[in-house]
Amino acid sequence: MKWRCTVCGYVHDGDRPPEKCPKCGAPQDKFEQLDDEAAGKIERSRFTNDLLARLIVLTREMAEIAEKGIKDELDPPCVGVFRQAARAAVEVGQAARAEIAVHVGRGKWG
């Protein structure tokens, strides 16, 4: 079962709502139980947000590898590939962070 704090939107997983909201301190009676559809949407959002977060971690690793490759400077074509990787890492990382921010703003983080 999922319970949402009607004050701040915090979502609690459990048989009962918490004594008070860990996020805003609202009392237990401010929680409402979510129906199966709403709970399912939150699970879906959590899954997607987790994928986006993992993608951000990978873009950091990609940026590090690209930086090493650019410094290594074996030959111009190789440097070109690493520069391309560095740009892609920044682009994908920023897009993923922006998407998570949109989800959080809409209360889709869960």
Question: Contact positions toward Zn ion, by CB under 5 A?
Answer: 5, 7-8, 10, 21, 23-24, 26
Picking from 10, 2, 9, 11, the residue whose alpha carbon sits closest to that of residue 36 is 2
To the nearest whole angstrom, how small is the minimum distance from the Cβ of residue 22 to Zn ion?
A: 8
Burial label, 56 (beta-carbon count in 10 A; 0-12, 13-18, 19+)? middle
Residue closer to Zn ion (CB basis): 69 or 107 = 107
Work out how close the CB of 28 gets to Zn ion at its nearest, in angstroms, rounded to a whole number.
Answer: 11
In the complex, what is the shortest distance from the CB of residue 99 to Zn ion, in angstroms, rounded to a whole number?
24
